[in-house]
Amino acid sequence: MFKIIAAVGGAVALVALIAWFGGRSIGADVLRAGWAIPANILIHLCQLFCAGAAWWLLVGDFRHSVFSFLRFRMIREGVNSLLPVAQIGGPVVAVRVMMAQGISGAIAGAGTTLDLTVEAAMQLVFTLAGLALLSGEGLKPLWVPWVEGGLVAGLAGVVALVLAQRAGLMRVIERLLAKLQEMFPRLALDGLQGLHVELLRLQRDPKVLVKAALLQLLAWGGGTFEVYLALLAMGSPVPLTQAFILESLGMAARSAGFAVPGALGVQEGGFILVGELFGLPPELGLALSMVKRAREVAVGSAGLLLWHWSEIRRWIGA
């Protein structure tokens, strides 16, 4: 019920923003940026490749190529972006697909958990870099303390998650999965036993962790070029530093709205607030978000198709 309410509320907020600031003007800006959308799809695929490479390193199953993990990453993003799963369903579906490809359930689950942890930590670094550049521009709007508070809370959350993992969180999950397996034998969850041991093993290689972190940071930063290109196409170019700030704080707003499917309305509000600092009118901030959503639908749809193809192959025994 909450997901339905959140989805409806987000959709209403998005429609209200478009109606308030002028749907015709926003639509015209999006049409002007039409030629940039294919380029932004390529840019985002490069981001997903970096993120997939980080995941590949963390899982450490090199029988599968890095391109397999690009596919897993596309599936994960497609489910999270286009389905009302509150950022949880994507990793679950990805682990299922990985297991179907012969990766141990324990390794797939532990590697995905570690990847999500590293990804979250690097978004904090990315957001902090955006705030530093914003300060360098001589700007400190009234909402910055809220972002700083979010960073502190996010850091505390990541630290708490790591400590919980070390303390045996995955053992608790293993016991829950064992009980589910007893209740529903057809779920085939026994392959996920050993999550705790595998997670601790994967955390022991600092070189791999650093490489994965740098790749994730590169993936986050790649969105800067999406923003830069979209605004250039709409006839309102900004310097790369400002595009970086827009991307980092816009994605921070999107992550803060994780409970709303697709962060509908939340992402748009973030781009409006940050864009106004650089003289971008609200309708342009909305148009920028719409261009990103067009790319999101394209790449996310491809991810969902890859997922369904994987399920079809499993069903026919290919």
Query: Is pLDDT at 318 greater than 60 in this prediction?
Result: no
260 against 249, higher pLDDT: 249
Has residue 241 been placed in a domain?
yes
Question: Looking at the domain assignment, is residue 36 inside a domain?
Answer: no
155 within a domain of the structure (yes/no): yes
Least confident of 108-117, 191-200, 234-243: 191-200
Residue 181 has a pLDDT of 67
What pLDDT, on the 0 to 100 scale, is given for residue 178?
Answer: 74
Is residue 13 in a domain? no
**pLDDT per residue over 237-248, tens digit each?**
999 999 999 999
Scanning 83-104, the segments in alpha helix (DSSP H) are 89-100
Q: In angstroms, how far is the first alpha carbon of the chain from the final one? A: 37
Give the CA angle between residues 259, 31, 302 to the nearest 5°.
Answer: 50
* Domain assignment present for 3: no
Q: How many structural domains compose the chain?
A: 1
137 within some domain: yes
Confidence at residue 259, expressed as pLDDT on a 0 to 100 scale: 75
The per-residue pLDDT for 184 is 60
CA dist., res. 77 & res. 50, Å (int): 14
- Averaged pLDDT, 74-83: 93
The percent of residues in the chain predicted with pLDDT above 90, rounded, is 65
Interatomic CA distance for residues 236 and 283, integer angstroms: 12
Specify if 295 maps to a domain. yes
> What Rg value do the Cα atoms of the chain yield, rounded?
20
Is residue 16 included in any domain, yes or no?
Answer: no
**Which residue range is the domain that position 248 belongs to?**
57-78+86-311
45-67 pLDDT, tens digit per residue, is 999 999 999 999 999 988 999 99
Q: How far is CA 55 from CA 175, 197, 274, in A?
A: 25, 18, 31
* Cα three-residue angle 159-222-142, rounded to 5 degrees: 65
Q: In degrees, to the nearest 5, what angle opens at C-alpha 94 toward C-alphas 311 and 109? A: 125
Which of 175, 215, 205, 209 is closest to 193 using CA atoms? 175
Strand, coil or helix: what is 278?
coil
